[in-house]
Structure 1
């Protein structure tokens, strides 16, 4: 049925109801009859804001890539500590390596609101790799083939004493004595079988783990769960060298050392760490308001508190507003308020699928002071919708979207 027919049918139905009510004396002459319940517009479902995935692999759409590990339930990790004949590790350093990565496990469990439990089984001390560290060309630009060879060697070296039969993801951490194992890449396309288990996901932790600590584990685990990189693989021509021009330090999938490494509310929703009821989907034909809890506290938000407001722009784009306050992993942020960003599910990982709107463009702090302070507003340039932000009780933030 076309829209004109729908309007005509609805008008006839309302007229009939009003006439019946007048005949019964229920509605005084000249008074407008109340529409039936079916004619009252219901709040829009969050489904209208659940942007579909429009790229293969890691992305920002729904659902996450089919290769991703489940983000709800129990994630079983094998932590293999490896050293080399040219860089042997001292036995006592095993505890230090475990302790360095442990905060990453705590991060995942805390940010998920307890919906993800990570169990870690560690190798019994250091496992000697079959080749010297120099045979794995991390410093020269690691290929996929070299990466999976490195992981496969670690699994084979540990297999005699380690049970891989019930493992979801393999974490391989190199001794601190091998600085040429430089960085920490992830693969979701491992193809190794051990103890009858087909292993598909692995992260290898290099020397950079000693700079980032456990947050590097949480970042790389984000990839195994399907999240994209939010830093830029290529810096913008107008801002050479700024690989964090899209998101800055407002999400762990961007700048790991940023002041606000909480996962964005959008990412939490993607992973199933937020319920649909915590997402307010703005209508295009009427004003929408919501009271937002700080993102860091969204798992324990009180009654009537949402985690984000989503204003759809197209089939693959939306504006998202969330509340960032100096609590949880955001405790070091200096600017607080409404973090506004666009999500585009047609943009691949590393090319800016998420871009933060800067409330103070041109400031020397870059995106560190991007949030809109309570009492301010912003007009979305393509739809003309006005978004206003007001302070609420207990660090909450009232967001209103006026089409």
Structure 2
């Protein structure tokens, strides 16, 4: 559906409302209501960017619940007439992005796209803005100022929680590595709508799979889970979570959000999160993260800002290309910001790899534990054993909590 046209308004007004300087990481605090469980397992929200804490409500982020309106604005450049129509570019990303979140949220989050069905001309060529992944602040600010000045007289921004600024994918100087969410130091108010962040899209045609779903996750306060190596390093980007969760890699074989993120976004009911406390042995049935209903997440608090998360994964829905199924374990830290390793998947089969031809990081592609397998934390306090796989798809799990120093700590069984 096209954005509603409006009467022309002074472009100078748009420049004035864009007086705030842009910063990539000034917005803080998670984006969604945490489902209540035991207070012992609610990691504290910290001031770090996209903290994984779930103990309090967020500030300044849109809610990924119910019907959410998104606006897509298309920007062209004077040196390169677009070869594609806005509808063709929009089809690169929708309905796939909306379908991803409808599936992931069990129908609780519906992202509705509205498009401005014509190209809006930027005043300068894309090369003039020196677009790149590590964009200079002055060039980035100039681009955003020109984009909003161009769009504001003809586009009604009111009522939208998500705004995508989409550059012509065929224009010289458009760099797909620069696609990301820009967090503003102060909201820009357009048509009475305060916008604290904008999604700048510089994708090729066709784009990377799930790229817009990944960027949209940032709008709702999900962090980057990949590792960015230092310049010149040949280290792998996907060592933290591999294929698991699209906030690690949009190319992953199992991009379904972690159950922890579903908890953070408010998609899990209170009874779907279990908190394991005290010594002794408890038994649990875990319903796969990709399917509706059942217990989705077990949490063991391991420190002031850390927890062990336990969930089941299967090859269905968004994870239909998953390499392996089973019980996935990962460490969560609320004291590490986006891109600094807030989640680490535990390799249930160290020394082994799987799906080498398709996985973004084969050593973690077979991370889930299967029936009869177990893993103990290095300090020996927690041991997780998979005792069965039920006909209805649930996985039976035994969790044993003991005092530190237990035997076989840190090794899979």
Q: TM-score category by the smaller chain?
A: 0.7 to 0.9
Match runs of 1:381-392 below 5 Å: 381-389=378-386, 390-392=388-390
Return the alpha-carbon distance in structure 2 between the equivalents of residues 115 and 254 of structure 1: 23
Pick the aligned partner of 1:194 from 187, 190, 201: 190
Return the alpha-carbon distance in structure 1 between the equivalents of residues 367 and 340 of structure 2: 20
Do the aligned partners of 2:245 and 2:257 also contact (CA within 8 Å) in 1? Answer: yes
SS of 1:318's equivalent in the other structure is strand
Residues 358-399 of structure 1: CA distance to partner in whole angstroms, max 9, x if unpaired?
A: 012122431111111122111122243221112122221011
Match of 2:98 in 1: 105
Match of 2:399 in 1: 401
Rate the CA distance shift 1:144–1:362 in 2: closer, same or farther, 3 A: farther
Match runs of 1:24-173 below 5 Å: 45-62=37-54, 63=56, 65-90=58-83, 93-102=85-94, 103-139=96-132, 141-173=134-166
SS of 1:393's equivalent in the other structure is coil
Match runs of 1:3-402 below 5 Å: 45-62=37-54, 63=56, 65-90=58-83, 93-102=85-94, 103-139=96-132, 141-178=134-171, 180-182=173-175, 183-189=178-184, 191-208=187-204, 210-213=206-209, 215-234=210-229, 240-297=234-291, 300-301=292-293, 305-364=294-353, 365-389=362-386, 390-402=388-400
CA-CA distance at 1:235 after TM superposition: 6.5
SS of 1:242's equivalent in the other structure is coil
Rate the CA distance shift 1:232–1:140 in 2: closer, same or farther, 3 A: closer
TM-score (normalised: structure 2): 0.80
TM-score (normalised: structure 1): 0.82
Rate the CA distance shift 1:143–1:210 in 2: closer, same or farther, 3 A: farther
Rate the CA distance shift 1:376–1:268 in 2: closer, same or farther, 3 A: same
Aligned length: 352
After superposition, the CA RMSD in angstroms is 2.2
Return the alpha-carbon distance in structure 2 between the equivalents of residues 212 and 229 of structure 1: 16
Rate the CA distance shift 1:346–1:82 in 2: closer, same or farther, 3 A: same
Greater share of helix residues, 1 or 2? 1
Return the alpha-carbon distance in structure 2 between the equivalents of residues 211 and 78 of structure 1: 19
Return the alpha-carbon distance in structure 1 between the equivalents of residues 363 and 382 of structure 2: 25
